[in-house]
Amino acid sequence: MAAPPLLTLQGVALTFGGTPLIEGADLTIAPGERACLVGRNGSGKSTLMRIAAGLVEPDRGVRFLQPGTTIRYLAQEPDFSGFSTTLDFVESGLQPGDANHRARYLLESLGLTGQEDPARLSGGEGRRAALAQALAPEPDVLLLDEPTNHLDLPAIEWLESELRNVRAALVLISHDRRFLSALSRATVWLDRGVTRRIEQGFSGFEAWRDAFFEEEERDRHKLDRKIADEEHWLRYGVTARRKRNVRRLGNLHALRKERRDDRRPVGSVTMQAGEAEASGALVVEAKGAGKSYGERRIVDDLSLRVMRGDRLGIVGANGAGKTTLINLLTGKLAPDSGSVAQGTNLKLMLLDQARAVLEPGQTVTDVLTGGRGDSVTVNGVSRHVIGYLKDFLFAPEQARTPVSVLSGGERNRLLIARALAQPANLLVLDEPTNDLDLETLDLLQEMLGEYAGTLILVSHDRDFLDRVVGSVLVAEGEGRWVEYAGGYTDMVTQRGAGIQARTAPAKAKAEPRERPPAAGLPPGRPRLGFKDQHELKTLPARIEKLEGAIAQLRTILADANLYARDPARFEKASGMLAQAETELSAAEERWLELEMLREA
């Protein structure tokens, strides 16, 4: 018999005034679940996740959690108040009896020491600490809201590897297509307040969604025709009995009500970059450029030419010096050695990662107009600010909204709207994809594809890099930057490896678990016999093989419908899993015993 769901939401609804945010959401999380939760910005994904975590009470609906089930929720903005170090923060998430060594392992793997002051963490460091706290207790259910935000490529790839091996059921919200495709086996779509589910990972979702919209549009067209036919009959049809007329009139009113109540998908973002007069053919040229801070070399002997119309991606681990490199290329910093020259007639537009230009007290309109009137000029054409905001999915009533109440995705869309209104022939975008929904990412990609100027893009989104850039400049360490033709995947093929962390994280796969010293070790200076030496040499491969087998068996058993479909296979896989876990535990115990003998 299949195991019962760990967590169930049925008919959940929540309204924050006006149109309901969520009005018919269902969510079932089975043991071993690997699901992604997708939907437009503002559709209520994070709210639904918080309801699932028990942090928000819905207006109606049922939430049921199996007794004894543990849940960990990764919020977009974790609360570090009351903790003196990151280790204290991570250990606060542990259950009684949990081993502290896992907290330290996760912190080290994510590039933290555990002694950092939480009040002084950057966005990326805060996200790493929050991830460590969520993963440390090895819960039954993991709810992760945008776990890759502010992470660099090495951390994202490490996290993918770690999540593949956790036993917890996963529900993920992310804008990173490749991350979702790698980890999900089911997709829950929150659309206009209701959820729809397909038993496929994210890689199959977009084709299914597009087919759904096409079918919905056909149904809407049929409804419009039916209304038109009924209206024509009432005006010009043969006179019939009064009761029949009254019934058909009632039917028409019902059809019209159905049409009024039909909630269409939210409109698409319309993006158009303000373009200035063309720059010269040469945009930037670096010759033997170098830049250092103290003894640390950020850029060493860089020679690079960026021509008009180029699409250059810049990738590297956090702290590799990507921002310093951008400042060198755009003339904000002078090199310590060599030269960097900008071309003629350059008009630069920089969208920085810090989003520092947004002041909390400003209104949305003030951000776009600079506080001067109600119009914004795009490509020489004056437009009313409300019409321009609609292109970026802002409602008219949000025009006077303070920036401080906007969501992360809305702030990012506003910054992009402001940036694209400025005439420029050189776009420099530093992490533009953070907090954007997938449809907005698609339209941003299309806009950049049609942009006539030059683009320099810093991003950790592998899929977005593959779709947009023509070459990738990679931090190779010690200030060396190397350019590779093609997108991120092409770069990995040419290098033979992805991006490495500046301080290499611990191995993604945990080493054999810490255990107390084995009992019964002989006194004195014991020696390993030939048989023991051979066993010690071969045990790591056996442990790795057992771990691989366990991962495969857990994948098989994660299928919630397996027992109903094939009970014999379910029983066989369950028995094999129990045996493999027993053998793994024995192998790790033996490896530890022999290793202690060898060290003695």
Cβ burial, residue 582 (10 Å; 0-12/13-18/19+):
exposed
Q: Which amino acid is at 108?
A: E
496 annotated binding-site participant: no
Contacts of 494 (CB under 8 A, 6+ apart): 484, 485, 486
> Does the annotation flag 46 for ligand binding?
yes
What residues contact 308, with CB distance under 8 A and at least 6 apart?
278, 279, 280, 281, 282, 283, 343, 425, 453, 454
DSSP state of 400: G
Question: How far is the C-alpha of 68 from the C-alpha of 54, rounded, in Å?
Answer: 14
Contacts for 367 with CB less than 8 Å, ≥ 6 apart = 357, 358, 403, 414, 418
425 is in an annotated binding site: no
CA distances from 79 to 112, 232, 492 (A): 18, 61, 36
Q: What angle do CA 188, 126, 160 make, to 5 degrees?
A: 45
Query: Residue 581 gets which letter from DSSP?
Result: H
223-227-230-232 Cα dihedral, nearest 10 degrees: -130
Token pair in block for residue 218 = 């056909």
Establish whether 323 is an annotated binding residue: yes
Indicate the DSSP class of residue 563.
H
**Closest listed residue to residue 220, CA positions, set 191, 249, 261, 189:** 261
Q: Do the annotations mark residue 345 as ligand-binding?
A: no
Residue 113 annotated as binding site: no
Task: Judge whether 485 and 458 are in contact, CB under 8 Å.
Answer: no
Q: Confirm or deny that 320 is annotated as ligand binding.
A: yes
Non-local CB neighbours of 17 within 8 Å, separated by 6+ positions: none
The response to whether 279 counts as a known ligand-binding position is no
Cα–Cα distances (Å) from 147 to 48, 73, 140, 545, in that order, read 16, 10, 18, 29
In what helix (H) or strand (E) does residue 458 lie, and over which residues does it extend? strand 454-458
Is 42 marked as a binding-site residue?
A: yes
H helix intervals, 306-407:
322-329, 364-369, 385-390
Residue 186 is labelled as binding a ligand: no
Amino acid at 146: E
Q: Which residues of 177-209 are buried (b: 16+ CB within 10 A; e: fewer)?
A: bbbbebbbbbbbbbbbbbbeeeeebbeebeeeb
Tokens encoding 419 = 């940036």
Consult the annotation and say whether 322 binds a ligand: yes
> Is 161 labelled a binding residue?
no
> What's the start-to-end Cα distance of the chain, in Å?
50
Q: How far apart are CA 383 and CA 216, in angstroms?
A: 33
Beta-bridged to residue 14, according to DSSP, are 22
Please indicate if the annotation marks 408 as binding a ligand. Answer: no
Question: Is 317 annotated for ligand binding?
Answer: yes
- With H, G, I as helix, E, B as strand and everything else as coil, classify residue 336: coil
* Residue 149 labeled ligand binder: no
39 in a labelled binding site: yes
- Binding-site residues, please? 39-46, 316-323
- Binding-site residues for ATP, please? 39-46, 316-323
